[in-house]
């Protein structure tokens, strides 16, 4: 029988939120028991990392499970990842089962150092060196020709592999200690909003995995930029907080392909399934709106015939006042801070039972491009 042991409460949640999380775990039990016939999960441990001793204990536990072919949720600076040994096809297969992820969607391989990155690729073109020097460790994934030892399960049978050296010290320590790279998609059930703290992971996957490591709030907050270096010219497959202009500035010798905002490549394996329009969605319906003042917002909401009691507003500039009964969440008007907070706000609205989430329209400009991309996909 499956259950959850909250070894240490998440530092990011209030007691009432934690209680609700535990109730959700209980609902997951039957599904989990069916899923884990060959890998029984007796409890989901959540291990904290905020002292040197706790960090060390959590690294040791994660490494033990990963070496045994297990799947664990680990913090990264972008979003939390659901990790397994990238060189073990069976372990990677388990990630797909747990997430309910379609087999045609390749997963990113996480490394801790250039040498390990090079071992995952059959070729290492010079732009990879330039970009790695400029942006690694960090929120950039490079798509390169795959090395022979990378299993089909990772690449969805395709000829390329996505490689990233994350900057979060916890996942770096785990990879170094394991000595092998980790395949890791975002640690959520397929198509949901990516988790940016341990509580988000436990709500989505609690009872289905044996370990979640709590490494605090993810500091970037949205998924890495995915750059295809096997395309000529190189192409951004998924925008991220390292934007195309920064990549271009680091590669003065070559020109990046213009990003096709509406690319929904359906070839198998998908060029980058994160580009499918329906992705990263909260449970609630999401609408992007702008308004000039409270009165204007009230009129717009009325026109949309929304149930105001279940409508939440996420605003950064035109902060509604006295807009009962809709709930208002504030988010910073600064691209980096907005990215760090947006998924947590979407999770919060979902957890509060929102039927509709109104997000105030964001500014144009390169710094906002990836955020606009995620919001549009969440709204579609």
Give the one residue of 143, 182, 227, 242 binding ligand TXA; rule: CB under 6 A.
Answer: 143
Contact 132, 165 (CB under 8 A): yes
> CB of 311: closest distance to ligand TXA in angstroms?
28
> CB of 73: closest distance to ligand TXA in angstroms?
10
Give the one residue of 199, 213, 226, 241 binding ligand TXA; rule: CB under 6 A.
Answer: 226
Q: Which residue lies nearer to Mg ion by CB, 40 or 100? A: 100
- Does position 172 interact with ligand TXA (CB under 6 A)? The reply is no
Give the one residue of 10, 32, 44, 186 binding ligand TXA; rule: CB under 6 A.
Answer: 186
Question: What is the separation of C-alpha 291 from the centre of its chain, rounded to a whole number of angstroms?
Answer: 30
> CB of 288: closest distance to ligand TXA in angstroms?
22
Residue among 103, 36, 106, 104 nearest 71 (CA): 36
Q: Which residue lies nearer to ligand TXA by CB, 226 or 342? A: 226
> CB of 109: closest distance to ligand TXA in angstroms?
8
- Alpha-carbon Rg for the chain, nearest whole angstrom, is 21
- Does position 204 interact with Mg ion (CB under 5 A)? The reply is no
| Parallel, antiparallel or unpaired: strands 211-214 and 235-238 | unpaired
- Does position 44 interact with ligand TXA (CB under 6 A)? The reply is no
Residues 264-283, one symbol each (x = binds ligand TXA by CB under 6 A, - = not), give -------xxxx---------
Residues 168-187, one symbol each (x = binds Mg ion by CB under 5 A, - = not), give ------------------x-
- Does position 81 interact with ligand TXA (CB under 6 A)? The reply is yes
| Rounded Cα distance, 59 and 56, in Å | 5
Contact 94, 104 (CB under 8 A): no
> CB of 231: closest distance to ligand TXA in angstroms?
10
Query: With 0-12 CB in 10 A as exposed, 13-18 as middle and 19+ as buried, what is 77?
Result: buried
CB burial of 315-327 (b: ≥16 within 10 Å; e: otherwise) equals: bbebebeebeebb
| Rounded Cα distance, 138 and 187, in Å | 18
- Does position 225 interact with Mg ion (CB under 5 A)? The reply is no
| Rounded Cα distance, 21 and 14, in Å | 10
Q: Strand, coil or helix: what is 157?
A: coil
**Looking only at residues 90 through 109 of this chain, which bind ligand TXA when binding is defined by CB under 6 A?**
105-108
Q: Which residue lies nearer to Mg ion by CB, 128 or 212? A: 212
Question: What is the separation of C-alpha 120 from the centre of its chain, rounded to a whole number of angstroms?
Answer: 22
| Rounded Cα distance, 26 and 256, in Å | 48
CA dihedral 344, 346, 348, 354 (to 10 degrees): 180
- Does position 339 interact with ligand TXA (CB under 6 A)? The reply is no
Q: Which positions lie near ligand TXA, rule CB under 6 A?
A: 76, 78-79, 81, 105-108, 139, 141, 143, 155, 158, 160-162, 164, 166, 184-186, 223-224, 226, 237-238, 271-274
């Amino acid at each position: 029988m499956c259950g959850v042991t909250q070894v240490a409460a998440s530092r990011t949640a209030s007691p009432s939120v934690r209680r609700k999380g535990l109730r959700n775990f209980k609902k997951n039990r039957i599904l989990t028991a069916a899923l884990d016939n060959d890998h029984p999960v007796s409890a989901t441990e959540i291990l904290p990392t905020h002292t040197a001793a706790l960090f060390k204990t959590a690294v040791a536990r994660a490494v033990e499970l990963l070496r045994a072919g297990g799947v664990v949720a680990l913090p990264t600076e972008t979003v939390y990842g659901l990790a397994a040994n990238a060189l073990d096809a069976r372990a990677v297969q388990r990630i797909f089962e747990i997430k309910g992820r379609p087999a045609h969607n390749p997963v990113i391989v996480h490394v801790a150092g250039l040498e390990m990155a090079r071992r995952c690729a059959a070729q290492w073109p010079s732009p990879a060196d330039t970009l790695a020097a400029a942006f690694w460790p960090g929120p950039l994934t490079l798509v390169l020709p795959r090395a022979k030892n990378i299993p089909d399960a990772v690449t969805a049978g395709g000829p390329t592999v996505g490689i990233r050296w994350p900057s979060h010290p916890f996942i770096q320590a785990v990879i170094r200690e394991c000595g092998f790279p980790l395949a890791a998609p975002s640690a959520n059930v397929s198509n949901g909003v990516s988790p940016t703290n341990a509580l988000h992971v436990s709500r989505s996957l609690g009872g289905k995995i044996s370990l979640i490591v709590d490494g605090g709030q993810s500091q970037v907050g949205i998924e890495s930029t995915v750059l295809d270096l096997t395309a000529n010219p190189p192409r951004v497959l998924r925008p991220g907080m390292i934007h195309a202009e920064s990549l271009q500035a680091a590669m003065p010798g070559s020109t990046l392909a213009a990003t096709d905002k509406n690319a929904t490549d359906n070839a198998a394996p998908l060029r980058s399934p994160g580009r499918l329009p329906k992705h990263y969605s909260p449970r609630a319906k999401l609408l992007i709106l702008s308004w000039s003042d409270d009165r204007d917002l009230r009129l717009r909401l009325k026109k949309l015939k929304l149930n105001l009691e279940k409508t939440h507003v996420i605003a950064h500039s035109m902060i509604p006042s006295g807009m009962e009964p809709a709930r208002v969440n504030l988010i910073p008007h600064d691209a980096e801070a907005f990215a760090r907070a947006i998924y947590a706000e979407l999770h919060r609205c979902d957890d509060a039972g929102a039927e509709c989430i109104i997000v105030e329209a964001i500014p144009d400009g390169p710094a906002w491009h990836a955020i606009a991309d995620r919001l549009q996909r969440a709204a579609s």
